[in-house]
Structure 1
Amino acid sequence: MVQAYGADTGNGSAEQPQAGGSRFRSLLGRAARDRGIWRRGIVLALCSVVLTLVMVVHAQIPNRVGNLGSLVETFLPWIALFIPLLLILALLRRSATALIALLLPAVVWLNIFGGLITDKSGTGGDLTVATHNVNAGNPDPAGTAQQVAGSGADVVALQELPGGQVSTYEKSLAARYPYHSVQGTVGLWSKYPLSNTRPVDIKMGWTRAMRSTVKAPQGEIAVYVAHLPSVRVKLHAGFTANQRDNSADALGEAIADEQVERVVLL
């Protein structure tokens, strides 16, 4: 004969689930007893330190080897993408060292770029401008022009205008923008009169920049339209930004010599 004995706890239940606070204390206690929590994740912590150093000294990285400095400057904001990745890896490794080290790049990135995340729009503006690269191979220039006209902007700049499609943009935008000028592959359309319009030499060999004075109701505004050269990453030359840098310098010099007090670059 088999006899079974049971203990009566007095509450009708053999086991009660732990309260939230007790469970949290249990996890903390388990972490405190896990000596490896500080030893694991050293490599992840070093990665966080490297990211931090890149952001701190980015302006001092030279361009002598493959224009590395310009490459870092271009992708600097996107370093933030590594932070959640390192966070996930640190959690998987259960590494307190990696988690604490991750605070370094997070704080530095927020210090540099955090102010750009918030909405910068404000009230009281009296001139709306828009800029758009229409793409030289655009199969529907008329449709693009209609969308541009629907933006409601007072002044519109277009880049990469192919010669064979300029007339299409002129016809489509004429009703809303009675004043316009096209210089090379860039153009400016305005609700207000334009004057002193001329191309701007940005060392490209053909016209990809212009300036014009917009006679807005609030006063004259010098508007520059520019389409700077693209940058490329090549195996034999690295990050090829020299032509873009030279064009940017030439454009900056032209703007610095501008006589009109208010200037807009599109």
Structure 2
Amino acid sequence: MPAVLAVLAAGLMVLHRAVPNSVGHLGSLLEAFLPWLGLVVVVLFLVAVLCRSAIALVALMLPVAAWTCLFGGLLEAEHGSYDLVVVQHNVSDENTDAVGTARVLAGAGPDLIALEELVPPASATYVRALAPAYPYHAVRGTVGLWSKHPMGGVRQADIKPRQITESWSRGLRAVVHTSRGDVAVYVAHLPSVRVRASGFASSWRDESAARLGKAVAAEKLKKVLLLGDLNGTVDDRGLAPLTSRMNTAERGFAFSFPAAFPVARIDQVMARSATVGHIRALPPTGSDHLPVAARITGVLR
């Protein structure tokens, strides 16, 4: 039995796209926690040792190889130079320590800071707290961008699902003017997902991701950065309209949610015509998310 389970675990890792999404979005649910299938290998290894099953131990090489192929590169050490450092954080509309949160974010020394769930009066506090180091900022609805570099071309990015009829503004686009060229930066907060008895409820998130993907595809500037709480991991096929067009982090897991015991990175940094070389989680703030910081290369060329 351990040998059979080992083969099944390897199959789920390698062929996760084959798991259908038509019923309860089960494929997306699996992909949201795909790296954690590695724990199955640990459990099966202990069972194989206790059972003294040589066949099971040999079979375990399959899921080990599959996990290493999919995620091993993320374990590589950070190295090399970089052009920009960016920070992404859902600050939470229930965060009561905006000043402390701003201190943690600025402490990472980023060039850009993207925030979601900005609500009054906390949003004004972030403006004041970040102003000394980040003189340029833009806020549209509940998302904002702070920059050390001048910005222009700020506008709302319409990513609202059709079924949401109330006021809802959770996307912006801005142009950051660096000394060596312009970069289009998108900040987005996609709708939340829920695990229910009927399955993985992600339809609104998926529709919003598709709208955001079209906006990125239509972007005329070559260099594009996307920072946001996308409520999905980069393996989740619901984010395919974005991951098919943009590069994701090459190194680092940076699990960001929930802050008390992070099990997934749903706060993302993506790039077009640039590389997200390394991503890491920052110390906790008053939010239920951890901030993430990423190093970007290939932007200033």
TMscore range, shorter length: 0.7 to 0.9
Larger strand fraction of residues: 2
Aligned 1:21-60 pairs, distance under 5 A = 43-60=1-18
Aligned counterpart, 2:206: 245
Q: Deviations over 1:23-46 (max 9, x none)?
A: xxxxxxxxxxxxxxxxxxxx1111
Query: What's the % identity of the aligned pairs?
Result: 49
2:32 match: 74
Match of residue 223, structure 1, among 178, 185, 190? 185
Q: Tell me the TM-score normalised to structure 2 length.
A: 0.71
- TM-superposed CA distance for 1:77, in Å, is 1.5
Correspondent of 1:260 among 221, 229, 232: 221
- 8 Å contact from structure 1 (residues 163, 185) kept in 2: no
2:274 equivalent in structure 1: none
Q: Say if 2:137 is the partner of 1:180.
A: yes
1:130 paired to 2:91: no
Q: Distance in 1 between matches of 2:219 and 2:78?
A: 27
Aligned residues: 222
User: Could you say which structure has the higher helix fraction?
Assistant: 1
Measure the CA separation in 1 of the matches of 2:23 and 2:83: 46
CA contact (8 A) 1:52 1:105 kept: yes
Match of 1:170 among 127, 131, 135: 127
Alpha-carbon distance in structure 2 between the residues aligned to 1:129 and 1:136:
21
Offset of 1:120 from its aligned partner?
A: 4.7
Distance in 2 (alpha carbons) for counterparts of 1:45 and 1:149? 50
Kindly provide the amino acid, as one letter, of the partner of residue 186 in structure 1.
V
Shift of 1:121: 3.9
Shift of 1:48: 0.6
> Does the 8 A contact of 1:157 with 1:189 survive in 2?
yes
- Choose 1 or 2 for highest CA Rg: 1
| SS of equivalent residue, structure 1 residue 128 | strand
Partner of 1:115: 73
**1:195 and 2:148 correspond:** no
Check whether the contact 1:201–1:207 (CA below 8 A) recurs between aligned residues.
yes
Q: What residue is the counterpart of 2:63 in the other structure?
A: 105
Quote the Cα distance in structure 1 between the aligned partners of 2:55 and 2:106. 55
Partners in 2 of 1:181 and 1:196 — Cα distance? 10
Cα distance between partner residues in 2 of 1:150 and 1:50: 45
Tell me the amino acid that sits aligned with residue 206 of structure 2. D
Q: State the distance in 1 between where 2:65 and 2:126 align.
A: 47
State the 1:196 CA deviation. Answer: 0.7
Secondary structure at the residue paired with 1:81? Answer: helix
The residue aligned with 1:12 is: none
TM-score normalised by length of structure 1: 0.80
Q: Which residue of 1 aligns with 2:246?
A: none
Alpha-carbon displacement from aligned partner over 1:146-181 (angstroms, at most 9, x marks no partner): 222222111111111112211111111111111101
For 2:283, the equivalent position in structure 1 comes to none
Trace 1:146-161 onto structure 2 (pairs within 5 A): 146-161=103-118
Gaps of 5+ in 1: 1-42
Q: Which amino acid aligns with 1:122?
A: G
Question: In structure 1, what is the Cα distance between the partners aligned to 2:58 and 2:85?
Answer: 46
In the TM superposition, what whole-angstrom CA distance separates every residue of 1:129-149 from its partner, at most 9, and x where no partner exists? 111111110111111112222
1:139 partnered with 2:100: no
| 1:113 CA displacement | 1.7
Structure 2 portions without partners, runs of 5+: 228-301
Aligned to 1:31: none
Name the CA distance, whole Å, in 1 between partners of 2:83 and 2:151: 18
Q: Distance in 1 between matches of 2:209 and 2:3?
A: 38
| Cα distance per residue 1:81-105 (max 9 Å; x no partner) | 1111110111011111111111111
**One-letter code aligned to 1:240:** A
Give me the whole-angstrom Cα distance separating, in 2, the residues matched to 1:84 and 1:98.
Answer: 12
Q: Which amino acid aligns with 1:101?
A: A
The root-mean-square deviation of aligned C-alpha atoms, in Å, is: 1.3
